[in-house]
Amino acid sequence: MADVIGSIDWLVITLAGSEGTGPIEGLDLDVLRRAFDGKVLGHITTIQAVFAAPGTRRAVITLLGAITARAGMPGTAGIVAINGAVEVLVKPSSRFVPAAQSPGPPPDRSGDSSGVTG
């Protein structure tokens, strides 16, 4: 990807998926792994590709998660875990990825100088 696109300054990543829903006691773990690989590892793979692009030293990357990361309902344990994993990528990645957003009310970041939005 890097040799085709070149340097990247700003990127918005949003990956969708509906696998991983249903009662936790009946979740098919192979389906859950596939959903995790597609969404969480999809975000990580894309971020890695951006920083592999020639000339990209610092890029603003916005990760779009899902409200289910914060507001699970019955039958959503699998998808909540997947979307929560995407959301928690933000804090440890803030050194490299200064912008991230998950739908819903923004968390309280008073006193946080990480540069992460959301």
Classify residue 70: in a domain, yes or no.
Answer: yes
Domain membership of residue 10 (yes or no) is yes
101 domain-assigned: no
Give a yes or no: residue 18 inside a domain.
yes
One digit per residue, the tens of pLDDT, for the chain of length 118 reads 556 666 777 788 888 887 888 899 999 999 999 999 999 999 989 888 887 777 777 777 888 777 777 777 888 889 888 888 888 887 766 655 545 455 554 445 455 444 434 3
Q: What is the pLDDT of residue 35?
A: 92
Asked whether residue 112 is domain-assigned, the answer is no
Non-local (6+) Cβ contacts of 92 within 8 A are none
The predicted structure's pLDDT at residue 92:
66
Q: State the Cα–Cα distance between residues 116 and 97, nearest whole angstrom.
A: 8
- How many domains does the structure of the chain reveal? 1
The parent domain of residue 39 ranges over 2-93
Task: Answer whether residue 102 is part of any domain.
Answer: no
pTM over 0.75? The answer is no
pLDDT confidence of residue 103 = 52
Q: Which amino acid is at 15?
A: L
**Is residue 103 in a domain?**
no
Q: Does 106 fall in a domain?
A: no
CATH number of the domain that residue 64 is part of:
3.40.50.720
Give yes or no for a contact between 102 and 66, defined as CB atoms under 8 angstroms apart. Answer: yes
